[in-house]
Amino acid sequence: MTAVTSTPVTAAPSSRLRRWRKVDPVLILSVLWCALTVLVAVAAPLLAPYDPSQTDILAAAQGPSAQHWFGTDAVGRDIFSRVLYGARLSLLGPALVVVIATTAGTTLAIAAVWFGGWFDRVLTRVLDIAFAFPPLLLAVLSVVLFGPGLTAPVVALAVAYTPYIARVVRSAALRERHLPYIESCTLAGLSGPRICVRHILPNVLPLVRAQAVTSLGSSLLDLGAISFVGLGIQPPNAEWGLMVSDGRTALLNGSPQESLAAGFMIIITVVAFNMLGERLAERAEVRA
């Protein structure tokens, strides 16, 4: 009956617990879309009808047709193929950002909680300061210093995202840290690193996962913006942010396919990651 009494007993039609029981179409669509994008990125060579960098001046700037589903760009490259291939670089960047930021953020957060005291105070202060920097600004700065490409913006965004992740994980880890099960591990003589890795980490992992997925979405958007302004991935590579930018001239000439297709991919993918992240966060909270 614990399960029953813990549901808010009111006349209100739905509670969070109840909502979870129902099939959640938003969640299913998000998962499907994310899986599809990853699949496309992996299998682009098998799926794409054309070589994404093969130019054909004779077939330049065409509208959609049976040969070219999304039409061709200003130098006659197949836009559909470029969108498929574009998934690779467009996802690789965010994936790297998230892997670095999540690892760093989680490690710092758990260490801060475990050691506490001045270490925690200093780290929290540093994270607060880092928090104040807009990620995009940091990325632009990094490109100015290290030159355009994938590496500079990715490293900068990873640094900028670390405090976001560290903050969320720190508060969750702090809650776990003072629960009796962690205290009883201390009393059992287990070592600090072991308690952190084997006990605190698994218990905050659902939240880390949620935060990572949400960050995938926002870093995809940020990296897209950096490419759009020409500071990220360089032509002739296929990348969505870059494609939106490349299609600008055609857009003004009345053929918006390239910008539209790439922009659409960015928006839908970002939304899907955000939705998925939000649902995972809800689920992590319900469990806690």
Partner 1 sequence: MNSWLNPPGADPLVRVSHLRLDIPVRGEPRRVLHDVSFEVGAGEALGLVGESGSGKSMTTRVLMRLLPHGAATDGDVLFDGTSVTGMDRRALRRYRSSEVAMIYQDPRAAINPVSTVGAFLTEALREAKVSRKEAEERAVALLREVGITDAPRRMRQYPHQLSGGLLQRVMIASAMLTKPRLLIADEPTTALDVTTQEEVMAILDEQRRERGLALVFITHDLDLAAAVTDRIAVMYAGTVLETAASANLHETALHPYTVGLLASRPSTVDVKRLWAIPGRPVSAFEAGPGCVFADRCPFAQDRCGTERPALRTVDDHQVACHRAEELRGRITYETGGDADRAHDEQTEPV
Partner 2 sequence: MSELLGLENLRKVFPVRAAAGEPAGELVAVDDVSFTLPPGGSLAVVGESGSGKTTVARMVAGLETPTSGRITLDGEPREAARAGRGARKARARQIQMVFQDPYTSLDAKQTIEAAIEELLRAHFDWDADRRRERVAQLLAQVGLDKRQGGARPRALSGGQRQRAAIARALALEPRLLILDEAVAALDVSVQAQIINLLADLRAETGVAYLFISHDLGVVRQISDDCVVMHRGRVVEAGRTTTVLDDPQDPYTRRLLSAVPRPGWVPRRRATSGASA
Contacts of 195 (CB under 8 A, 6+ apart): 114, 182, 185, 186
Three-class HEC string of 63-118: CCCCCCCCCECCCCCEHHHHHHHHHHHHHHHHHHHHHHHHHHHHHHHHHHHHHCHH
- Any contact of residue 145 with partner 1 (CB under 8 A)? no
Question: DSSP labels for 200-248?
Answer: IHHHHHHHHHHHHHHHHHHHHHHHHHHHHTTSSS-TTS--HHHHHHHTH
Nearer to partner 1, 68 or 279 (CB): 279
One residue of 13, 25, 180, 254 binding partner 2 per CB under 8 A: 180
Residue of 107, 124, 203, 249 interacting with partner 2 (CB under 8 A): 203
User: Under a CB-based contact definition with an 8 Å cutoff, are residues 149 and 242 in contact?
Assistant: no
Smallest gap from Cβ 191 to partner 2, in A, equals 7
Binding-residue total with partner 1 (CB under 8 A): 17
Q: Among 199, 209, 248, 283, which residue interacts with partner 2 (rule: CB under 8 A)? A: 199
From candidates 13, 25, 180, 254, binder to partner 1 by CB under 8 A? 13
- Closest C-alpha to 217, from 39, 93, 43, 85: 93
CB of 125 to partner 2, least distance (A): 19
- If binding is defined by CB under 8 A, does position 117 make contact with partner 2? no
Per rule CB under 8 A, count of chain residues that contact partner 2: 17
Query: Under rule CB under 8 A, which residues in 124-153 are in contact with partner 2?
Result: none
Chain centre to alpha carbon of residue 230: 21
Residue 9 as a binder of partner 1 (CB under 8 A): the answer is yes
Positions touching partner 2 (CB under 8 A) are: 179-181, 183-191, 194, 198-199, 202-203
Positions touching partner 1 (CB under 8 A) are: 1-5, 7-15, 18, 21-22
